[in-house]
Amino acid sequence: MGKFEEYLEKTIPEKDSLKLVKKEAEKYYKEHSLEDCFSMGLELYQSNNFQIQEVGVLLIGYSASENKSALSFLEDTVSKHENWKVQEILAMAFDNYCKIIGYEVALPSIKKWLNSDCANVRRAVCEGLRIWTNHPYFMQNPQTAIQLLSSLKEDKSEYVRKSVGNALRDISKKYPQIVLEELNSWDLLSKEIKQVYKLASKFLDSVEV
């Protein structure tokens, strides 16, 4: 066990502490190279403590901005972790990656992950980027965010569909007409689409196109 892992063992309590996990990961990221972040992230991911694993996932997310192997590790390995809390961190790690390189630059990766065969990968994008239109690129291009999310309106995973519906609902607060126009084009005969529609349209009852 390395010194940083020993430090985390003493610092992070047994109970869930997301705030502390994020704080320690960000502190290490600011004080070390991206190469160091990647190697340390891989080391921490081997821990039996899921919160230390979470620190590792965040560090790998930071390093993914310059390391394709890091991004692949998130997509291919972390996405298969059985702990749902680690999946929440995967979403945050992917968003950090997008934030660092810029959301427009990250579009190819966003689209790739949205088309993944793994539900956890697809969901990491939908959930990680929330609120989508709070980010500069999607703030200027809300239609792009809506179209990307809407591509999963009939996703086979209810877990993913719920995230899609909630993400569209978030966007509808600032861009109600654009979201409503998209929703009105959907075929509600599908129970899957109807579920997403119900979530996404929560605040749109009084909106006119």
Give 13-27 pLDDT, tens digit per residue.
777 789 999 999 999
**171 contact partners, CB below 8 Å, separation of at least 6:** 131, 132, 133, 142, 145, 146, 149, 178, 179
Can you tell me which residue has the tokens 């998130």?
74
**For 43-66, what is the mean pLDDT?**
97
Three-class DSSP category at 175: coil
Concatenate the DSSP letters of all residues of 95-125 into one string. HHHHHHH-TTTTHHHHHHHHT-S-HHHHHHH
Q: What are the extents of the domains in the chain? A: 1-101, 122-209
**Cβ atoms of 189 and 197 closer than 8 Å:** no
**pTM (two decimals):** 0.95
Report how far apart, in Å, the C-alpha atoms of 126 and of each of 41, 159, 165, 168 are: 23, 11, 9, 9
What was the pLDDT predicted at 37?
Answer: 98
Give the single-character DSSP code of 92. H
Confidence of residue 50 (pLDDT cuts 50, 70, 90): very high
Residue 192's closest CA among 156, 138, 141, 168?
156
pLDDT over 80 at 105, yes or no? yes
CA–CA separation, 209 and 181 (whole Å): 7
Give 158-209 pLDDT, tens digit per residue.
999 999 999 999 999 999 999 999 999 999 999 999 999 999 999 997 555 4
* Domain made up of 122-209: CATH architecture: Alpha Horseshoe (1.25)
Domain 1-101 CATH assignment equals 1.10.1240.70: yes
**Cβ atoms of 209 and 180 closer than 8 Å:** yes
Cis peptide bond N-terminal to 100, omega within 30: no
**31 contact partners, CB below 8 Å, separation of at least 6:** none
What was the pLDDT predicted at 208?
Answer: 57
What was the pLDDT predicted at 73?
Answer: 98
What was the pLDDT predicted at 13?
Answer: 75
